[in-house]
A and B are shown apart, each in its own frame.
Chain A
Amino acid sequence: MNRRKKTGGGIGVEQELESVKLMKAFVQQTAAKHASTQGGLLPCLHEIQAELGFIPNDCLDSVATAFSLSTAEVHGVVSFYHDFRTSPSAQHCIQICCAEACQASGSRELEVGAADVLGVEFDQKHPTGDYRLERVYCLGNCACGPSIRIDDEVYGRIDLAGLPQLVNEAMQS
Chain B
Amino acid sequence: MTMTVYISQDTTAVAVGAERVASAFVQAAQDADSNYTLVRNGSRGAFGLEPLVEIETADRGRVAFGPVSPGDVPSLVKSMADSKFDSHPNYLGPVSDIPWLANQTRITFKRCGEGDPVDLANYRALGGYRGLERAISLTPQAIVDEIKVSGLRGRGGAAFPTGIKWQTVLDTQGEQKYIVCNADEGDSGTFADRLLMEADPYQLIEGMTISGLAVGATKGFIYLRSEYPRAQKMLERAIEVATAEGYLGADLCGSGQRFDLEVRMGAGSYICGEETALLNSLEGKRGVVRAKPPLPAIEGLFGKPTVVNNVLTLASVSSILADGGAEYARHGVDRSKGTMPLQLAGNIKNGGLIEVPFGVSLSQVINEWGAGTRSGRPVRAVQVGGPLGAYLSRDQLDVPLTYEALTELGGMLGHGGIVVFDDSVDMAKQAHFAMDFCAKESCGKCTPCRIGAVRGREVLDRVCDNTASSNDLILLRDLCETMEQASLCAMGGLTPLPVKSAMDNFPEDFGVTDNQYEVAV
Contacts and interface: CB of A to CB of B under 8 A. Distances in A.
A84 B267 contact: yes
Interface in B421-436: 421-422, 425, 429-430, 433
A149 interface: yes
A76 to B, nearest CB: 6
A46 B15 contact: no
Nearest to A155: B15
B287 A144 contact: no
B371 to A, nearest CB: 12
A157 B186 contact: no
A37 to B, nearest CB: 9
Interface in A1-23: none
Nearest to B197: A140
Interface stretch (B123-131, B240-248, B276-284): B276-284
A47 B334 CA distance: 48
Given A140-B185, A142-B190, A142-B345, A81 B420 contact: no
A141 B191 contact: yes
Contact of B265 (A46, A82, A143): A46
A41 B189 contact: no
A155 to B, nearest CB: 5
B421 A77 contact: no
Nearest to A143: B351
A51 B286 CA distance: 22
B188 A99 contact: yes
Interface in B9-57: 11-12, 14-16, 47-48, 50
Contact of B227 (A46, A105, A136, A144): A136
A143 B418 CA distance: 10
Interface in A78-105: 80-84, 99-105
A170 interface: no
Contacts of A136: 227, 268
Contact of B346 (A38, A104, A140, A152): A104
A143 B352 contact: yes
Contacts of A137: 186, 188, 270, 437, 441
A62 interface: no
Contacts of A56: none
Given A45-B267, A144-B16, A81 B419 contact: no
A145 B267 contact: no
Contacts of B265: 42-43, 46
A170 to B, nearest CB: 12
A171 interface: no
Interface string B120-144: 0000000000000000000000000
Nearest to B193: A140
A105 B267 CA distance: 26
A101 B345 contact: yes
B347 interface: yes
Nearest to B192: A140
A147 interface: yes
Contact of A105 (B186, B266, B283, B347): B347
Contacts of A77: 284-286
Given A42-B267, A101-B345, A105-B374, A141 B12 contact: yes
Contacts of B493: none
Nearest to B391: A100
A154 interface: yes
Interface in B404-460: 417, 419-422, 425, 429-430, 433, 437, 441
Contacts of B187: 138
Contact of A101 (B16, B267, B375, B419): B419
Contacts of B48: 143
A42 B264 contact: yes
A154 B11 contact: yes
B15 A105 contact: no
B15 A101 contact: no
B302 interface: yes
Contacts of A99: 188-189, 387, 437
A46 B267 contact: yes
Given A38-B302, A77-B285, A142-B417, A83 B191 contact: no
A103 B433 contact: yes
B343 A80 contact: no
A141 B15 contact: yes
Interface of A: 38-43, 45-46, 67, 76-77, 80-84, 99-105, 108, 136-145, 147, 149, 152-157
Q: Shortest 7 CB-CB distances between A and B: which pairs?
A: A143-B351, A41-B284, A99-B188, A104-B346, A142-B345, A81-B267, A156-B15
23 contacts: A39-B264, A41-B285, A42-B281, A80-B269, A83-B226, A100-B188, A100-B346, A102-B188, A103-B430, A104-B345, A108-B429, A136-B268, A137-B186, A138-B187, A141-B11, A141-B15, A142-B345, A142-B417, A143-B352, A147-B15, A152-B230, A156-B15, A157-B15
